[in-house]
Amino acid sequence: MSTVPAIQKDYDPTPVLEKAYKEAKQTDQKLHEMFELLGWGLLPLELKYAIRADVQGIVDELKGRYASCDPFVQKRRKRVLYWVDCYMNGVCSAETATEMLAY
């Protein structure tokens, strides 16, 4: 006896896929705006991906939503700023900056 429900043959996944696409597009637009706000719009995608959560936190703080006094958060933010500056000033490659920030 199977506990998995049978899939309807006339099931149309289009509405679910359209909703997921719309949400992904909105998230992407929000991320793009955050990077632009910081002047980091031209960073390579792999570097943006590695620091997207950090950027969200930085933007939230800039907008006054909260302030983090956690020393580990502050240390991570300093690392992000350092490696992004290194990349933007031509001191290191995008690959190096991404590697140093991805974990």
Q: What is the pLDDT of residues 10-55, one digit of tens each?
A: 888 888 899 999 999 998 898 899 899 889 999 999 999 999 999 9
Position 79 scores a pLDDT of: 95
Does a structural domain hold residue 9?
no
Position 5 scores a pLDDT of: 66
Position 6 scores a pLDDT of: 66
- How far apart are alpha carbons 93 and 86 in whole angstroms? 8
Summary mean pLDDT of the chain: 88
Residue 72 has pLDDT above 60, yes or no: yes
CA 94 to chain centre: 16
94 — pLDDT class (breaks 50, 70, 90): very high
Position 23 scores a pLDDT of: 92
Q: Residue 78, Cβ neighbours under 10 Å: how many?
A: 10
Position 103 scores a pLDDT of: 72
The residue segments making up the domain with residue 87 are 17-101
Domain count, the chain: 1
Does a structural domain hold residue 6?
no
CA 78 to chain centre: 17
Does a structural domain hold residue 54?
yes
Could you identify the residue written with the tokens 């792999």?
A: 46
Q: Residue 74, Cβ neighbours under 10 Å: how many?
A: 11
